[in-house]
Amino acid sequence: GLGYYTLEHLLYSQQGALLTNRTWNYYPPGPLDIPIDFRIQLRKNAPNPLGVLRSKATGEPPLCMSVAVPLAVCQALRLPASRSGTGSFLQAFSTPLSPEKIFLACKNDINLYKYS
């Protein structure tokens, strides 16, 4: 879900063919994208007697809960948007929320990034 909301930008040719259909031109999240301080906790002694071979779900729940990613990005951008006086980031909300799109949505003054 993280890659879906932040990296998966579908590009099509004028003939309608999907151009970003493999990892040569689409970069899914990898090991270096995991934060250094990544705290998770697995439930201990939590059997699932109704699951196939007592298995637990691993696919759909994380994907469904990944909707928190764009919402967290929007929440994080409220302060920069209010400081720049450009309004809410939600006006320009569309996925994927690439780093470039997030940076441009902040609408910071380019002079903030120049050495003086």
Half-sphere exposure of 78 (CA within 13 A, CB side): 6
Q: Is 9 among the domain residues?
A: yes
Give the domain extent around 91: 2-35+51-113
Q: Is 108 among the domain residues?
A: yes
Q: Is 81 among the domain residues?
A: yes
Q: Is 70 among the domain residues?
A: yes
Q: Is 43 among the domain residues?
A: no
Of 15-19, 23-27, 58-62, 93-97, the range with the highest mean pLDDT is: 15-19
Active site residues: 60
The answer to which of 3-7, 68-72, 81-85, 96-100 has the lowest mean pLDDT is: 81-85
**Number of domains the chain contains:** 1
Q: Is 42 among the domain residues?
A: no
pTM as predicted: 0.60
Q: Is 12 helix (H, G, I), strand (E, B) or coil?
A: strand
